[in-house]
Structure 1
Amino acid sequence: MDASTLEAMRTALRGPVITPQDSGYDKARTVYNAMIDRRPAAVVRCRDAGDVMAAVDFVRDRGLETAVRGGGHSGAGLCLVDDGVTIDLSPMSGVRVDPVTQTAQAGGGATLGDLDHATHAFGLATPTGIMSTTGVAGLTLGGGHGHLTRKYGLTVDNLLSADVVLADGGFVTASEREHADLFWALRGGGGNFGIATSFTFRLHPVHTVALGITLWTLDRIQDVMRWYRAFLPQAPDDLNGFFAVLAVPSGPPFPEEIHGQRMCGVVWCWSGDPDRVEEMLAPVSEAGPPAFHFTAPMPYPAVQTMFDQLIPAGLQWYWRGDLFDRITDDAIDVHARYAEGLPTSLSTMHLYPVDGAAGRVGEDETAWTRRNAVWSGIVGGVDPDPARAETIRQWCVDYWAELHPHSLGGAYVNFLGADEGRDRVRTTYGDHYDRLAAVKRAYDPHNLFHANQNIEPAPAD
């Protein structure tokens, strides 16, 4: 970017424009996944929607490549682009709660921690992900699932409206009443249609929940998975529990004698009466005697932050995912085999429930597809050492390749890798893809916003 272009950009915007010559550049281009090492020509820190509109006009009129950053958690690194402009929403992190209407408006740069902190003061929450450092924007636009999904649905099922800057620099509010086609597409279609500068969510009464962790030795994984697949779908919606393969972290609440051991287990969140959590989890012994079982009442934001230090920013990450309507015996055999070969102490596999309230939403009500899914699975290779990047990537790819035939064929779009190709995006959206492509043509006909799991505009009639 030449000096005159840079000066013009700085004049047009209130927020700082950070370039490779600036001392804060490396920090500005750093994202959650340390495997991503891209060098934008500029990072534009937008202070408000006006800055976003000006930035969009600037990159469009000059034919510059652009990407959009909310929380910077994109595992595929889609929030950065080499030699282009990253439009960074992180200064726009405010959250306003209306306790009367039980709604919250969150800025496009807010994290789940920002949202949870603001809503918890009123004894309210909305279903999101499981790490407080995740950005609200990226999570929401992809669909969003976590500890409250079985009770209150996906994040997009609780989205009431979104303010969006479009590719032509215009600003609209999308809801069921205004720009309804865009609102439909935003609920699961990713960042393809514009830059969402704020989100308004429906809130629910949530204050203290009960956290549970049950672990079994890895030699019991097949018995445990067979029990889990039968138990959870028939459990009350108040009970959420994601299945995991992991190496036990060092530190509380885990006793020292199991630190570092490879195990399988379930992380539970009970959002009903906290005094009933042991009653609800009494059946865990049916899977065999647990090696560890723990429950405790916690403020909901404490549950949301429990993984922040375990898997902080700055690690090497590679992941792939799929949606499943069942856990077959053959799939269990795959899980057992790859769990034995867990390549690093932070690598993992999770199966997140997406049934309950989420499964009762109509297939065509949002862009999120496959409402018949019961689990959203992710295989994640994780390690701090760049020398192990290829090891964790290959383990993940091989694991996913053997598991994929037992899936519904598509994935939670936020769990797609950057290198899976256009056909994988089309397959993920299934019957919704053509409708999404038509919305893309209406709102971004020249595909300005393509640094994402891209949906190409439908051909003009």
Structure 2
Amino acid sequence: MNELFTALQQSLQGELLLPQHREYEAARRVRNARIDCRPAAIVRCLSVGDIQQALQLAARQDLPVALRGGGAHVAGFGTCQDGLLLDLSCMKDITIDPVRRLAQVAPGVTWGELDAATQAHGLAVPGPRNPTIGIAGHTLGGGVGDLSRQFGLTSDNLVSAELVTIDGEVREIDQESDAELLWGLRGAGGNFGVVSRFTFQLHPVNGVVAGVLAWPARDIAPVLRRARDWLAQAPDQASLIALVWTAPPLPFLPESLHFERSIMLIPTWFGAPDQADQVLAPLRSGALCDTLQPMRYADYQRLLPSAPNYQQQHVYNRGELLRDLDDNTLDHLLALFDRSGPNFSLVFGALGGAIARAPAGGTAFAHRDANWFVEVCAQWYGEANNPVMLAPAVEAWQLLQTVSSGPYANLLPDLEPCWARATYGSGWERLQALKQRLDPNNRLRFNVNISPLLSVVTASGKEDVR
């Protein structure tokens, strides 16, 4: 096989990394240190031609293929064991059409890079509040952001895509050329091919009134209930994230909260600035920290820094989509938080608005009735599979199964096929038919995987064809 890889290198614009290459060890890693996989080869793609060449080699050698944009998915989908890894992170082109409000974006672009390019024209597309995350995986997994209550999911704003199919064909996918495949790309991940260009609808976003509100541990339960009740009445231009955690020593927090259990709200107002005080006032009572102020959207997207040495951090985060945050659910989650260690935290994020108003079944994202996502987080250093660290997060998502509509694809570390079915809900068989058409051998299986109609995929990623 080395001879075949040597021939591949000669045809690439990008770079081929085999295990003996000096950069291989660093290149095989993803953001979650729990994931320790060794691909047979890594292709650093620079062009659509590189993607085609790599996929054709994978087909000839019957190699599974992993795709990496930002490499941030908690399950480690940006790498694989013994397969071929297509690293798209060097494909960075961005073209903005401010008149038509469209952005054409290559798959290696991060959200920080895209926000900077779109904000130069006073525009944005809904995306995560983390500038280091790649646009590709986030979009294809549905894509929740603080602008989503106004403008829908990131995937709702995907107008078209250039797709390299598993056999190397380059296709333009839009509503006219292949509406069914566009439906699947809007929420069902990299199951159907390699997206080499995304075209997004953009929206005017000139600024935001936002910041941090924080309280000590004794106020966690009443503040969460207040935030829940506030969101139920808030306009779509308002959004919210709540973090229940052991606070790191962030410079904007008072020292009395450093390394202490606490709650932090990040409310946002995208409407007229002179209305912000009235809209956000119900949330502010008694806060020890209050930094709400007008700011640029790009600065807002950087409010929370990444953890130090995040590439060495072990992560088990899982997101569940909930219709409601009832008192019983909150009581059980907070009781679990109280008896857990400092490496366990909870994140509550606002949904609803335009997400819920989109027609059910209009995209592969299934759970539009959810008004909240709840992310249960275990993050630590040291032993990769420390059961003490893992236990609270696992217990938390299991507790939520009685009220969850289903998992969120972009925050799903568990690979059992039942969770893929739960993620895609009623669209499962329709997605299976698409998978059978585009990737019948399930070569693209390092994702929230959709098994072709004629096959079953085990939790280890191995395929059992019937």
TM-score range, shorter chain: over 0.9
Is 1:418 aligned to 2:414, yes or no?
yes
Tell me if structure 1 keeps the 8 A contact 2:34–2:385.
no
Q: Which stretch of the first structure deviates more once superposed, 146-155 or 244-253?
A: 244-253
Distance in 1, matches of 2:303 and 2:264, equals 16
TM-score normalised to the size of structure 1?
0.95
Q: Which residue of 2 aligns with 1:280?
A: 279
From 361, 365, 379, the equivalent of 1:364 is 361
Q: Which residue of 2 aligns with 1:355?
A: 352
Tell me if structure 1 keeps the 8 A contact 2:33–2:384.
no
Query: CA 1:322/1:332 → structure 2, altered by over 3 Å: closer, same or farther?
Result: same
Distance in 1, matches of 2:51 and 2:22, equals 23
Distance in 2, matches of 1:210 and 1:313, equals 31
Tell me if structure 1 keeps the 8 A contact 2:247–2:261.
yes
Is 1:450 aligned to 2:450, yes or no?
no
Tell me if structure 2 keeps the 8 A contact 1:325–1:375.
yes
Q: Which residue of 2 aligns with 1:382?
A: 379
Task: Give the letter for the 1:97 counterpart.
Answer: I
Q: Which residue of 2 aligns with 1:212?
A: 211
How far 1:223 sits from its partner (Å)?
Answer: 2.0
Task: Give the letter for the 2:366 counterpart.
Answer: T
* Identity among equivalent pairs (%): 36
How far 1:244 sits from its partner (Å)?
Answer: 1.6
Aligned length: 454
How far 1:390 sits from its partner (Å)?
Answer: 3.0
Q: Which residue of 2 aligns with 1:404?
A: 401
Tell me if structure 2 keeps the 8 A contact 1:316–1:384.
yes
Q: Which residue of 2 aligns with 1:242?
A: 241
Q: Which stretch of the first structure deviates more once superposed, 228-237 or 197-206?
A: 228-237
Distance in 2, matches of 1:200 and 1:94, equals 12
Distance in 2, matches of 1:360 and 1:70, equals 30
Q: Which stretch of the first structure deviates more once superposed, 13-22 or 255-264?
A: 255-264
Q: Which stretch of the first structure deviates more once superposed, 42-51 or 291-300?
A: 291-300
How far 1:210 sits from its partner (Å)?
Answer: 1.6
Task: Give the letter for the 1:70 counterpart.
Answer: G
TM-score normalised to the size of structure 2?
0.94
Task: Give the letter for the 1:134 counterpart.
Answer: I
Residues 311-330 of structure 1 aligned to structure 2 (within 5 Å): 312-330=310-328
How far 1:257 sits from its partner (Å)?
Answer: 2.2
Q: Which residue of 2 aligns with 1:110?
A: 109
Q: Which stretch of the first structure deviates more once superposed, 203-212 or 222-231?
A: 222-231
How far 1:378 sits from its partner (Å)?
Answer: 1.1
Q: Which residue of 1 aligns with 2:253?
A: 254
Task: Give the letter for the 1:443 counterpart.
Answer: L
Give the 3-state SS of the residue equivalent to 2:425 in structure 1. Answer: helix
Give the 3-state SS of the residue equivalent to 1:230 in structure 2. Answer: helix
Unaligned 5+ runs, structure 2: 456-466
Q: Which stretch of the first structure deviates more once superposed, 334-343 or 68-77?
A: 334-343
Deviations 1:370-404 (Å, cap 9, x if unpaired)? 21110122111112333674332222101111122
Tell me if structure 2 keeps the 8 A contact 1:233–1:356.
no
Q: Which residue of 2 aligns with 1:42?
A: 41
How far 1:276 sits from its partner (Å)?
Answer: 3.1
Task: Give the letter for the 1:343 counterpart.
Answer: G
Q: Which residue of 2 aligns with 1:138?
A: 137
How far 1:109 sits from its partner (Å)?
Answer: 1.0
Distance in 2, matches of 1:196 and 1:388, equals 33
Distance in 2, matches of 1:195 and 1:241, equals 33
Distance in 2, matches of 1:220 and 1:306, equals 23
Distance in 1, matches of 2:80 and 2:102, equals 34
Query: CA 1:373/1:44 → structure 2, altered by over 3 Å: closer, same or farther?
Result: same
Distance in 2, matches of 1:307 and 1:341, equals 26
Distance in 2, matches of 1:439 and 1:8, equals 32
Query: CA 1:189/1:269 → structure 2, altered by over 3 Å: closer, same or farther?
Result: same
Distance in 1, matches of 2:80 and 2:159, equals 31
How far 1:303 sits from its partner (Å)?
Answer: 1.6
RMSD: 1.7
Task: Give the letter for the 1:333 counterpart.
Answer: D
Query: CA 1:344/1:9 → structure 2, altered by over 3 Å: closer, same or farther?
Result: farther
Q: Which residue of 2 aligns with 1:94?
A: 93
